[in-house]
Amino acid sequence: LPEQEAFDIEYWLLEEAKLQRMPKPKSLAGHIALVTGGAGGIGLATAKRLATEGANIVLMDIDEEALAVAKNELSNEFGKDCAASIKMDVTQEEDVVRAVNYCALAFGGLDIVVSNAGIASSAPLEETSLELWNKNQSILSTGYFLVAREAFSLLKQQNMGGNMVFIASKNGLVASANASAYCVAKAAEIQLSRCVALEGAPLGIRSNVVNPDAVLRGSKIWTGKWKEERASAYQLSTDDLEEHYRQRSMLKLNVLPEDIAEAIYFFASDASAKSTGNILNVDAGHAPSFTR
């Protein structure tokens, strides 16, 4: 090679090597995400996934103590200004209004809404009290509605589009034994997301659903009565439940909070720019028309 050409190639290779070593731009840098139920489980795993991509996070939860621990974890991992938190109850209209407005106060706006706060509590139909029924509808269906309405208003006002991700459940699509109150509330969340997608599309607001299957590890709802209820519905011992869910999946894998967080990141980012009104089941391949 002529000397100049060899020099140019070497120079170009060095520049390429430099580029390779440079940190990749973060896909959610400058984005602000609210995560309800962000104090633990799927919510906290999601907050971490979004923060990894550069998003600022507003954690919202009813559990003040867990909220403080979660915010601390995020600050330690992603820097002290990465996250803010606010105690709130998704069933209380004034709490939701205050919490959504807090996103503007803390970070100047809102781009991503992860509606995730929830419970799991159910019973056979004949044992489902009106109180249990209403509890499911108010935290899940109504709570998701209030968050969606307030966040939609803020996104509309900003006129910069946005992404809403609803964490529903496979039980919103398929019937599950002894869980009618929960199944109906989860079905409502799925329909709400589709309606938001329709109204939001002209405004550049997308809305999608992630349906986890059983995520036992790291989830508080599996430390309570729900585990016993599910085990009893399947006539198993609580110790056998995780293996039961693993065996019934096509991939023979258990689903973890981080797996759900990855799917939420997909819908919260431009990777899914042309998806709205959609549902992604994260269930290691288990999609029959009933849950067993």
Question: Which residue ranges make up the site for ligand NAD (CB under 6 A)?
Answer: 36-37, 39-43, 61-63, 66, 88-91, 116-120, 139, 143, 167, 169, 212, 214-215, 219-222
Give me the least distance between CB of 168 and ligand NAD, in Å please. Answer: 7
Active site residues per annotation: 182
Please say which residue, 89 or 111, places its beta carbon nearer to ligand NAD: 89
**Single-letter code of the amino acid located at 273:** A
Please say which residue, 87 or 156, places its beta carbon nearer to ligand NAD: 87
Q: Is-contact 267 165, C-beta < 8 A?
A: yes
- Report angle CA 62, 34, 87 to the nearest 5 degrees: 20
**Single-letter code of the amino acid located at 172:** G
Start-end of H helices in the chain: 3-21, 41-52, 64-78, 93-107, 130-136, 143-158, 180-200, 225-233, 241-248, 257-268
Ramachandran category for residue 30: left, alpha or beta (phi over 0 → left; psi -120 to 50 → alpha): left
Q: Is-contact 182 125, C-beta < 8 A?
A: no
Please say which residue, 41 or 200, places its beta carbon nearer to ligand NAD: 41
Please say which residue, 75 or 138, places its beta carbon nearer to ligand NAD: 138
Give me the least distance between CB of 116 and ligand NAD, in Å please. Answer: 5
Distance CA 166, CA 273 (A): 16
Give me the least distance between CB of 188 and ligand NAD, in Å please. Answer: 12
Q: Tell which residue, 70, 60, 55, has the closest CA to residue 36.
A: 60
Q: Is-contact 161 203, C-beta < 8 A?
A: yes
Give me the least distance between CB of 30 and ligand NAD, in Å please. Answer: 27
Give me the least distance between CB of 79 and ligand NAD, in Å please. Answer: 23
193 three-state secondary structure: helix
Give me the least distance between CB of 186 and ligand NAD, in Å please. Answer: 7
Distance CA 36, CA 52 (A): 18
Please say which residue, 3 or 131, places its beta carbon nearer to ligand NAD: 131
Neighbours of 138 (CB within 10 A): 17
274, two tokens: 């042309």
Please say which residue, 102 or 222, places its beta carbon nearer to ligand NAD: 222
